[in-house]
Amino acid sequence: MLAIFVIPVLLQGIAMVADEALFHRRRELPRWERIGHPLDTSTLVVCLVWLLATEPGETTLGVYVGLATFSTLFVTKDEWVHSDLCSAGEHWLHAVLFALHPIVLAAFAITWWTGRGELLVGQLVATIAFLAYQIVYWLIVEPRQRLRAIDNAWYADLGGRWYAAHDTPIALLRAESRHRNPWIADQIAARLGAQRAVLDLGCGGGFLANYLGGRGHRVTGIDTTAENLVVARDHDASGSVAYQVGDACALPFPDASFDVVCAMDLLEHVEAPQRLIAEASRVLKPSGLFFFHTFNRNWLAGLIVIKGVELFVRNTPKDLHVLRLFLTPEEVTEMMRSQALELVELRGSRPRFRWPLWRMLFTGNVGDDFAFTFTGSTKLGFTGIARRGARGRPRDQ
């Protein structure tokens, strides 16, 4: 008899946790879902409260059947929203949950009818706890997170620390550049040839722009912060890079101006990444290449990229990164597809698990020997290449 209660309840609990962790947290729930999900849980609370407040009997059972039927139908209400927002995997998981829901409610009734009310008390406590989580997180915490603004102004005060400091997260950006810059240059040479017109969006202190300028490319670097460009010019050994203040989401260049456009560690710093991608596509020549790197929006990236850096790298400001601005590979791919950009290659990246990493955890300093590597997993960050279609125009934003 105990198995009749435990097995369906356990399966439903596992499915609900998977739905929350794998799908809900990976996409921003619209307002109706943020309200609707606690309402779904509330119908389970009502069913349990009714059973615990009444004695088994035909009348009370009839009322429960009505409540259970309403709950079973009510939990499907969000499918009108889900039809446009959910992946195939989430739809499948919802189907499992919809099938389990009446089974669980029937298990509640059998448990009640056989006098095992203590099991229902435990279930009621667990259900109320989950309801409290839904209300606090989706109606209070998550909306506040959406309002948090990223601190892009922090970079303006770095000055020479762009290239020299080790007690700041800018040293991590230097390490990423040491890792990616040669790869980007090699990819340009292999796919397009030497001496190409390159646009570096959000160029910052010029890590990539100056490297490509030194390799003979005709590079233009733009950034919204004039102070960053002063640093970039001072460290341009080739003296060839053209730096100017500009908005990556409203580029001051005509269509088809560049062979290559780069947006490294930039998509997660703008409120409208789809507009940035549209502008990158617009200024690319047919068959031109778009290089990008950004961070994945999930709990692991939030824990390591945001909280980990705040805890273990000295002088990390609050909101250097904001989780709501991180993007999934699927989102970036779809944004590019809508702008006539076809994904060519996608790689994950992570720090190398060597002594410099462990030393940073103890000292808060990022040494020049700190290194990153490509990986098959895109759970933390991902680097990619897309090619501008020879035909077709980007869709208007």
pLDDT at 231: 98
pLDDT at residue 393, as a whole number: 53
CB 299 within 8 A of CB 325: no
Please list the residues that pair with 291 across neighbouring strands.
Answer: 262, 385
What DSSP line would sit under 215-261, residue for residue? TT-EEEEEES-HHHHHHHHHT-TTS--EEEE-BTTB-SS-TT-EEEE
Which tokens is 32 given?
């109706």
- Looking at this protein, which amino acid is placed at residue 390? A
Residue type at 2? L
Annotate 109-128 with DSSP letters as a single string.
HHHHHTT-HHHHHHHHHHHH
| CB atoms near residue 279 (< 10 Å) | 24
According to the model, what pLDDT value does residue 176 have?
97
Tokens of 50: 């009714």
Which pLDDT value is given to residue 177? Answer: 97
The pLDDT value given to residue 32: 87
Whole-prediction pTM value?
A: 0.72
> Can you give the pLDDT of all 397 residues of the chain as single tens digits?
689 999 999 999 999 999 998 888 877 788 889 999 999 999 999 999 999 999 999 999 999 999 999 999 999 998 887 887 888 899 999 999 999 999 999 999 999 999 998 999 999 999 999 999 999 988 888 877 776 789 999 999 999 999 999 999 999 999 999 999 999 999 999 999 989 999 999 999 999 999 999 999 999 999 999 999 999 999 999 999 999 999 999 999 999 999 999 999 999 999 999 999 999 999 999 999 999 999 999 889 999 999 999 999 999 998 999 988 999 999 999 999 999 999 999 999 999 999 999 999 999 999 999 999 999 999 999 999 999 997 555 555 5
The one-letter code for the residue type at 17 is V
According to the model, what pLDDT value does residue 22 have? 84
Coil vs helix vs strand at 288 = strand
Of 21, 13, 14, 63, the C-alpha closest to 41 is: 13
Cα torsion through 186, 187, 191, 196, rounded to 10: -70
3-class secondary-structure state, position 1: coil
Continuous H helices in the chain: 2-18, 31-53, 58-74, 79-85, 88-113, 117-136, 142-147, 161-164, 170-191, 207-214, 226-234, 273-283, 299-301, 309-312, 329-337, 355-363
Fold annotation for 152-388: Rossmann fold (3.40.50)
Cβ contacts of 77-81, under 8 Å, gap ≥ 24: 77/36, 78/32, 78/33, 78/36, 78/37, 78/40, 81/30, 81/32, 81/33, 81/36
| 128/14 Cα distance (integer angstroms) | 17
Domain boundaries, the chain: 2-147, 152-388
CB 23 within 8 A of CB 95: no
pLDDT the model gives residue 143? 79
Whole-angstrom distance, CA of residue 221 vs CA of residue 205: 10
